[in-house]
Amino acid sequence: MTDTFDSSDPKAVKAAIKDAKSKDLIAIEGLKAMMQTEPGRVWLNKLVNMCSPFTNPFSSDPAVMAFRCGEVNIGLQVIADLNEASSDLYLLMIKENAK
């Protein structure tokens, strides 16, 4: 049988919050490790550019606009994570790929 989460149990809630924070820290550390290599920064820059985070997603077609808004949202989330991991390495990534 699968364990179910009891949101009325303060200990279970506290443990879940701690687990989520731990996973977030692990993810940020992994991102920082990736940013410490030039190939990692090139790949991350390519990912951000594919999302076109600084473009206007408007389209007269609602489905196209929804898709573009999703891309922009993901791109902005990745940029926020990159800055959280290391703003210095994020700036280095921008400089290296501005050529």
Instruction: Work out how many domains the chain is built from and give that number.
Output: 1
Is residue 84 included in any domain, yes or no?
Answer: yes
> Is 74 a domain residue?
yes
Residue 4, domain member (yes or no): no
CB of 31 closer than 8 Å to CB of 85: yes
Q: pTM of this prediction? A: 0.82
Please check whether residue 28 lies inside any domain of the structure: yes
Enter the tokens of residue 5. Answer: 């989460």
Residue 2 resides in a domain: no
Q: Which domain holds residue 62?
A: 10-96
Contacts of 75 (CB under 8 A, 6+ apart): 48, 50, 51, 52, 53
Q: Do the domain assignments include residue 70?
A: yes
What is the full per-residue pLDDT of the chain (99 aa) written as tens digits?
567 888 898 998 888 888 888 999 999 999 999 999 999 999 999 999 999 999 999 999 999 999 999 999 999 999 999 999 999 999 999 999 997
Would you say residue 3 lies in a domain?
no
CA angle 17, 22, 23 (to 5 degrees): 100
44 within domain boundaries: yes
